[in-house]
Structure 1
Amino acid sequence: MSINSIGDRIKALRKEHSLTLKDLSEKANISISFLSDIENGRSNPSLERLNDIAKALDTTTSYLLGENQLVNEKNETQLNKKDEKDIEKRLNQIKTELMEGQDGLMLSGEPVSPDAVQSIVDALEFGMRQAKLINKKYIPKKYRKD
């Protein structure tokens, strides 16, 4: 079975831990219907909800996002603590600028909701993590140990 989405990974881990939707929803403190929507690809969780689910399943958000799977399959290096801090610092700056900026973020002349801003930040985090992982595999020839 190929695990391609966040929902697939959550469902696989839930079954591996012998948990029902109700069990996991209680452990993660989210509704059963929302969890079902995530597992079936009808909804995407915010990073906060993804963290709650990851804790309840005793895993990491990186695995649920598919980052560790790619790293393990390709045998690439993982992000170190400095990389994690850099990403977190930049994301906090971006979120602050989006939420508290003088003009704010507008879409079709309307202010963007905090949930939409969080979705933007979540997407940026995923992109930043992927870019860092991809860039780590390119080591200049003078530093390679061939």
Structure 2
Amino acid sequence: MDTVNVGNQITKFRNEKGYSMRKLAELGEITPSMLSQIERGLANPSIQTLKILSKVLEVPIFYFFLEEQTTDSLITRKDEHKKMIVKDLSYELLSPDLAGELETVIMRVPSGVVSSSEPIGHKGEEIAYVLSGKINLYLDNKLYSLDSGDSVKIPAYMVHKWENIEEEEAKVIFSVTPPTF
């Protein structure tokens, strides 16, 4: 793993706040020359300095240690989606990866297939949208029939299962946080 440049992160958050280097140094109770050295990677800030800067910049201290992401890594081409088949269900991950707080998946449910024998719950909150077809959703043991264009919010740990009793495949896109794929 590459070393994270804390100075670059401080510069990024300083610019987002619209602070000059001199203003941040004043608010952070350090000299402008010290802040300049930190931002250029020539000096390492103390933990106390990072605490103060995180408070002034209104970001959690661990944000200074996050690796920078290139925009290229945010794009997933249609033929590069990760796919998983569980029994007769297929899942296609639309998110580039499982990093971060959110994932989005297309679930394909063939005719006559149910997602699980019993409704199950999971840690993540979920929003689902029926892309095509019709599908039954058992939500907290109550049956709902959803048509193309319908959507649902499923709170964390609420038990649910999907069932396709129609002749055609149903496609459901869902986003869940945190990722569970």
Same fold? TM cut 0.5: no
- TM-score grouping bracket, smaller chain normalisation: 0.3 to 0.5
Question: What TM-score comes out, normalization by structure 2 length?
Answer: 0.36
Greater per-residue helix proportion: 1
